[in-house]
Amino acid sequence: MTAFLRQRFKPLLERLARGLAHLGVTPNMVTSLGLAGNVLAALWLAQGRITWAGWLLLFIWPLDALDGALARLRGAPTPFGGVLDSVADRYAELLVWGGLLVYYLNQANPTAILLIYLAAGGSLMVSYTKARGEAQGFRVEGGLLTRVERFLILVPCLLLNRPLIAMWVIAILANFTALQRLWIVFRQASSLPPVNPTTSSQE
């Protein structure tokens, strides 16, 4: 889904990026604006303004792809810009889950609280498994529920004021995806020759 959407909207994103570049807008400014939007969405979720938060997230979603398009237009993403984008993405998800957590704490709904914990943890582990695997030299691509798919599940449910449906789906499938990516790494690692224990390292 990620590759399909990137290819489908690439011409539009490039036109928008050129316009922003002429205005002096930098990729890091776009990233920061998107994160600020997620802060506001989290506040609305905490207040129970579920549908409004859904519309806001839908509105700011293109910023997540626009910063990358703008960086490519300017030459290449800087090392800091790449790290900032990844960190902002993780915080953006946590902010949304945090807003829902506050709302359901006020509702005294233990099932929802547990689902938020599982969904947030699974979402982070999907990204962490990929990052850790690639740091070790493995190719970690795909997975059932990447960030785009999580967004496409969560936002429509927020718009329909049915966040519990999204929470159930993401709590289960995000953790499944993390294990799926771990399996991808395991299969690649199994085909490698044994490593000398004196030269290996562990985190």
Catalytic residue IDs: 89
Rounded Cα distance, 117 and 103, in Å: 14
Rounded Cα distance, 65 and 129, in Å: 22
CB count within 10 Å of CB 201 equals 5
Beta strands in 60-200 (DSSP E): none
Q: Which of 197, 198, 84, 184 is nearest to 132 (CA)?
A: 184
